Chains A and B, each alone.
Chain A
Amino acid sequence: MTRPGFAVRAGMAVVAAAAVVTPAFAQTAQAVPPRQWEFAGGVSFVAPATSGTTSADLLRPDGSTLPLFRARRETSSGLGLEAHLGTAVARRLDVEMSGVWMRFDARAVISGDAEDVRGVTLTETLTRFSLEGAAVWRFVDGVRVQWFVRGGAGWMRELSSDMALASDGIVVNAGAGMKYWPGAARPGQGRFGIRAEVRLLGRRGGIAIDDGSFRLWPIVAGSALMRF
């Protein structure tokens, strides 16, 4: 996906459609069940990535470049904590608010030094906070097992290790996962469960750790679930 707005627009379209459908659903004679909330808290893992090379170029008299050194940009794997609070707005559609904290390293792997300085890897530990809104569509809505797709977007802030450099940006997420409610005998039952998902994270803005183009980072997350 190269357009960050796509997942957001898709998610909003689903929400809008659900809003139209809901009144018809409410016209049935069945009693409206009390609103249930789901809280999920867990951990996430982001995979390492490379994002190109920056060359410290001097210019030769003819305009060609003479690298003083090169820096290959990388981000390490990272671990995060995340929390989601959601509720159903239609039979298969939930909306949720999410908060994510993640820590990872930005790295520059130095090579090609003009004065033969041995290769070295420079790092800086970055912290990211994000607040997101998301739509969750349960395309398999079993009693104990629910499979879902999820799309969301939100605001993020990234901080350097000394907290001096702080830069805001946007994040978009799209992914899929599963919820498992081991104690459920009927749909909606089961107070505790687990949730696992994979997502692609896109970011724009924040601390410049790449060439500024839109990139996707794979994330794996697992959470404990509670209904109330």
Chain B
Amino acid sequence: MTRKRLALLAVALAVVLAPGAEAYLKLGTSVNGDVLGIRWTTFPVRYFIFDGDDDRVSADELRAAVARAFTTWTESPSARISTTFGGFTTAEPFDDDQVSVIGFQARPEMERTLGAATFEIDTSNGQLVAADIFFNSTFDWSVAPSGESGRFDLESVAVHEIGHLLGLGHSALGETELNSSGGRTILGKRAVMFPIAYPRGSIEDRTIEADDIAGLGEVYASSATTRGFGAIRGRVTLGGEGLFGAHVVALNIQTGALVAGFSLTDRGDFVISGLEPGLYVVRVEPLDDADADSFFDEDTDVEIDFRPGYFPRLVGVPPGGAGEAIVITVAAK
């Protein structure tokens, strides 16, 4: 079996899967010229915890935090997935051992990376063999129930990385501003899978949001879990031409749920699925709140030179389908 390791860093690499099929970014890998989605096909997903302590967090505390983070995802109503703890191991994350390992590693050279997920994939058929997660012990971590000032919440970051482990890419549902050190300061977000974590002390990322739930539903869609949900499909155009990489946000006007996606073809096609039936406001904005390569391949040309705007009508989303395709026209800056 030929295997390769695909690294997914918190601020680095994501691969757009199956352009135009759906708008939520999912992880994919190229197999014989085709892009296949990274997803688990057998459950429960079995994982092990590296038996090495951080300065402040024991391996058992890590196990408990990871277990809570897995439960957050497995209780999502949008997919039927399950996981099981296999035990502690001396194998470290990132070993090519066909075992999914989660643990701490000191990676001082990755000065902006709290954690990362990597995958072992059978390149002959795209089957996911194993996935590892590491948490960078260069940072100060906390497992305190209410968070701890000055320390990153381990459970929150675990929820994000486990989202990757399950096949989700990054969401752009957030607002940031550039800070003096050249990085970005998060102003607010509404998706655990936003690529930039909340600052030290925050525990807000322990809870997955509507956007995360919809994304998981896209990766593990089944008739049982998608029956009651609908979609919005359409195109984003600029000057009559399709626009790639526009961030499309849908707001349910009754519940306030926010779910977003991207236009993922040169025609500007997008589909936002996993939506509760109802009426939606649809807003389009450029991808300018995080580096584009947090979402797409470095070679991908993402158009950001346009003004945010709204589709001029409320959009009805029926259960189990979509209404008429909409065309959202945006203006250049």
Partner-B contacts on A (CB < 8 A):
54-63, 65-66, 68-69, 71, 73, 106-108, 110, 113-115, 117, 120, 122-124, 160-162, 164-167, 207-212
> Chain A residues with Cβ under 8 A from B278's Cβ?
165, 207-208
Known: A108-B253, A117-B307. A58 touches B187 (CB 8 A): yes
Contact A61 B253 (CB under 8 A): no
Stretch at the interface among B44-52, B88-96, B309-317: B309-317
Is the beta-carbon distance between B187 and A124 smaller than 8 angstroms?
A: no
Q: Which of A54, A114, A117 contacts B175 (CB 8 A)?
A: A114
Alpha-carbon distance between A62 and B203 when the two chains are bound, in angstroms: 9
Cβ distance B314 to chain A, nearest Cβ, rounded Å: 4
Contact in complex: B321, A57 (CB < 8 Å) = no
Q: How far is the CB of A108 from chain B (nearest CB, A)?
A: 5
Do residues B202 and A61 form an inter-chain contact, with CB atoms below 8 A? yes
Sample (28) of A-B pairs whose CB atoms are under 8 Å apart: A56-B251, A56-B281, A57-B188, A57-B190, A58-B188, A59-B188, A59-B204, A60-B187, A61-B198, A61-B199, A66-B188, A68-B175, A106-B314, A108-B314, A115-B308, A122-B281, A122-B311, A122-B313, A123-B313, A124-B314, A160-B279, A160-B318, A161-B316, A164-B322, A165-B316, A208-B255, A209-B253, A209-B279
CB A50 to nearest CB in B, in angstroms, measures: 13
Q: Which A residues lie within 8 Å of B312 (CB)?
A: 120, 122-123
Please give, as numbers and ranges, the residues of chain A lying within 8 Å of B317 by CB-CB distance: 165
Closest 7 CB pairs of A and B: A58-B188, A66-B188, A160-B316, A165-B316, A164-B323, A208-B254, A124-B314
B144 contacts the other chain (Cβ, under 8 Å)?
no
In the complex the two chains form, what is the Cα distance from A207 to B258 in whole Å?
18
State in angstroms the CA–CA spacing of A120 and B331 once bound together.
Answer: 15
Complex CA–CA separation, A57 to B174 (angstroms): 10
Q: Are B314 and A122 in contact (CB under 8 A)?
A: yes
Q: Which residues of B lie under 8 Å from residue A115 when comparing CB positions?
A: 285, 308
The answer to whether A58 and B190 have CB atoms under 8 Å apart is yes
A106/B279 in contact, CB under 8 A: yes
Shortest distance between the CB of A23 and any CB in chain B (Å): 50
User: Within 8 Å CB of A167, what residues of B?
Assistant: 277
The distance in angstroms between the C-alpha atoms of A191 and B186, with both chains bound, is: 74
Q: What separation, in Å, do the CA atoms of A171 and B314 have in the docked complex?
A: 23
Does B173 interact with chain A (Cβ within 8 Å)?
yes
Q: Is B77 an interface residue (CB 8 A)?
A: no
Identify the closest chain A residue to B202 (Cβ): A61
B189, B201, B283, B307 — most chain A CB neighbours (10 Å): B283
Q: Chain A contacts of B187 at CB under 8 A?
A: 58, 60, 66
> In the complex, which residues of chain A have a beta carbon less than 8 angstroms from the beta carbon of B307?
117
CA distance A161 to B188 in the complex (A): 35
Question: In the complex, are the beta carbons of B323 and A165 less than 8 A apart?
Answer: yes
* Assembled-state Cα–Cα distance A58/B192 (Å): 11
| Residue from B256, B310, B323 within 8 A of A160 (CB atoms) | B323
Q: Which residues of A contact B254 (CB under 8 A)?
A: 54, 208-212
Judge if B249 is at the interface, Cβ distance under 8 Å.
yes
B281 in contact with A71 (CB, 8 Å): yes
C-alpha spacing A210/B249, complex, angstroms: 20
Question: Are B189 and A124 touching (Cβ within 8 A)?
Answer: no
Q: How far is the CA of A87 from the CA of B202 in the complex (A)?
A: 67
Whether, in the assembled complex, B55 has its beta carbon less than 8 Å from a beta carbon of chain A, the answer is no
Q: Does B324 contact A (CB under 8 A)?
A: yes
Contact A208 B190 (CB under 8 A): no
Are the CB atoms of B310 and A58 closer together than 8 Å?
A: no
Contact of B256 among A54, A124, A164, A209 (CB under 8 A): A54
Contact A207 B316 (CB under 8 A): yes
CB pair B256–A55 under 8 Å, yes or no, is: yes
Give every chain A residue within 8 A of B310 (Cβ-Cβ). 110, 117, 120, 122
Closest chain A residue, CB of each to CB of B207: A59
* A142–chain B nearest beta-carbon distance, Å: 47
In whole Å, how far is B261's beta carbon from the nearest beta carbon of chain A?
A: 15
In the complex, chain A residues whose CB is within 8 Å of the CB of B198? 61
Other-chain residue from B189, B202, B309 in contact with A117 (beta carbon distance below 8 A): B309
